[in-house]
Amino acid sequence: MAGRGDPPEGTPEGLPGGNDDEYRSVVFDESFVRAARLQEFSAQERMGDHAKAVRSRPGRGLRNGPRHFLVLMLLIAMAFGTAVYMGVRHPYRPPGTQPVQALRTVVVPLAPEGTVPGGDPAGLYARSPAADFRVGAAGITHPAVRHTKNFSDDQVTTALTIAKDYLVASSLDPAVLTEGAVRPVRVLLDPDQLNQFDRSMNAPEDDGRHAATGWLVRFDPDRIALAAPEVRVRGTLAFAEAGPDTLEVTSDHTFAYAVRPAGNETGAPTAADGRAVDTASLFTVRRQLHFRFDRDDLRTHRAELLLSHVQAGPMSCSADAAALMEPLLAGQRATGRGPAGTDPYDTRRAAPAVCGTLTTGTQPSG
C-alpha cells in the first residue's frame, strides 16, 4: 500500500527516495528564503479582494547602498587630499627642468715676446700657422652624427647646429666684432642666462662670471678695425649625452683675425726707430666653450653656455681683457707691466688675474 506521501502507484523504480530525492537539489534553505526579494502572502492575506500573491521585501542593497556610496566618496576624498599634500611637499619636476647654471669664464691675455710683425693680410696668413685654416663658418664643421640612448640623430644635429650658430654669431659676425652689436648672440641664449649676459655687456668685470669676452669676441671700434673681411678658423665640435634629458656639446676653435688701426690706414703705428710699419697684423683667439641643451633648448633653438675658456694675443698683460679684446698692432710691443693686481682679501673676485706668453712660432714669420 502506498504511503501517505507517495503517489498511488508507489515510488517509481530506479529513483531511490522518490520525490524527495528528485527535488533535493532545488530545495531552498532558510537563509535563502529570508534573503528573497519576493515573499508570498499568507492564506488569510490572500483572501482579500484583488490581493496580489506576493509582496516585495525591502532589498539589502537599498539599505546598504547609501552607506557604501558614502564610504566610497570618503576614500576618494582621502586619496585626492593625499595626492595634493604630496604634490605640495614633493612637487613633480618634469624631465629636463634642472636649473640653468651661470656661465663661468676665464680670459687669458697672451703677451708677445717681441715686436708684433705686420704685413698685408694675405701675406700674414700665408706665413702663419693659420695658412691652412678654412675661411669663416666653413672652418666650424660637424663631427659624424649618431644617435645617443635618449636623443635621435635629428636632435643631435640640432644641438650641433645651435652650437655652430653661436660660434658664428659670437666670433665671426662683423657687427658683433667691431660695431658693438650683441643681439645676434643674445637671441641664441637660454632666457635664464640673459640677466647674466646683459650685465656682462653693460658692466663687464674680471670676476669669472661677467667678462664680456667670455661670451663673444669684440674690439674697440674706435681703435681696431678688420683689415680683411675673412677670418681663418680651425677647430672641433664634440657631443655627449649628459643624462636622459640633456645633451652637451664642447667646442675648441682657433680664430685668426687680420686687424689694423681704426680710421684711415695712414694712422699706422711707428716702430721704435720712427719708421712706419705695415698696418695689418694677426690677432689670434682660442675659444673653448661648453654648451648644454635640454629638450626645450632644442625646440627653441637656444643654448646654455656653461664654460668659456679664452686665450687671446698679442695683448699686454695689463689689458682689460674682460671688456674688450685689445690687440697689439703691427710694430708694437707688450708693456713691461704684468696683469692687473689680484687682491686676496676681495672675496667678490672669483678668478685671479692671469696672463700668458705668446710664443714666437705663433706669429707670422719674417
pLDDT tens-place string over residues 29-77: 565 556 555 555 565 655 655 555 555 555 554 455 567 777 777 788 8
pLDDT tens-place string over residues 318-335: 888 999 999 999 999 998
User: DSSP readout, 63-131?
Assistant: HHHHHHHHHHHHHHHHHHHHHHHHHHHS----TT-PPPPPPEEEEEEEEESSPPP-B-HHHHHHTSGGG
How far apart CA 41 and CA 17 sit, in angstroms, is 31
Cα distances (Å, whole numbers) of residue 21 to 69, 279, 284 = 45, 125, 111
User: What is the reported pLDDT for 247?
Assistant: 96
Terminal C-alpha separation, the chain: 146
Does the pLDDT at position 86 exceed 70? no
For residue 92, name the pLDDT band (cuts at 50, 70, 90).
very low
Range with the poorest average pLDDT among 22-31, 161-170, 308-317 = 22-31
Range with the poorest average pLDDT among 86-100, 151-165, 332-346 = 86-100
Over range 234-255, report the average pLDDT. Answer: 96
* Percent of the chain topping pLDDT 70: 68
How far apart CA 318 and CA 207 sit, in angstroms, is 16
Range with the poorest average pLDDT among 9-23, 28-42, 261-275 = 9-23
What the block records as the C-alpha cell of 133 is: 685654416
> Up-side HSE of residue 12: CA atoms within 13 Å toward CB?
7
The answer to pTM > 0.95 is no
Q: Where are the domains of the chain?
A: 25-91, 104-341+349-362
Asked whether the CA dihedral 115, 116, 119, 123 is positive or negative, the reply is positive
Does the pLDDT at position 280 exceed 90? yes
pLDDT tens-place string over residues 217-229: 999 999 999 999 9
Contact status, residue 18 vs residue 6, Cβ threshold 8 Å: yes
Range with the poorest average pLDDT among 69-73, 92-96, 283-287, 291-295 = 92-96
Helix (H) or strand (E) segment spanning residue 175: helix 174-178
How far apart CA 42 and CA 163 sit, in angstroms, is 94
Over range 296-319, report the average pLDDT. Answer: 95
Look at the block and give the residue holding cell 704684468.
338
User: DSSP readout, 21-67?
Assistant: HHTGGG---HHHHHT-SEEEPPHHHHTSTT--SEEEPPPHHHHHHHH
pLDDT tens-place string over residues 148-171: 999 999 999 999 999 999 999 999
| 3-state SS, residue 225 | strand
Residues in the chain: 366
Does the pLDDT at position 78 exceed 70? yes
DSSP label at residue 364 = P
User: What is the reported pLDDT for 61?
Assistant: 46
Q: Is the peptide bond before 314 cis (omega within 30 degrees of 0)?
A: yes
Average pLDDT, the chain: 81
User: What is the reported pLDDT for 225?
Assistant: 95
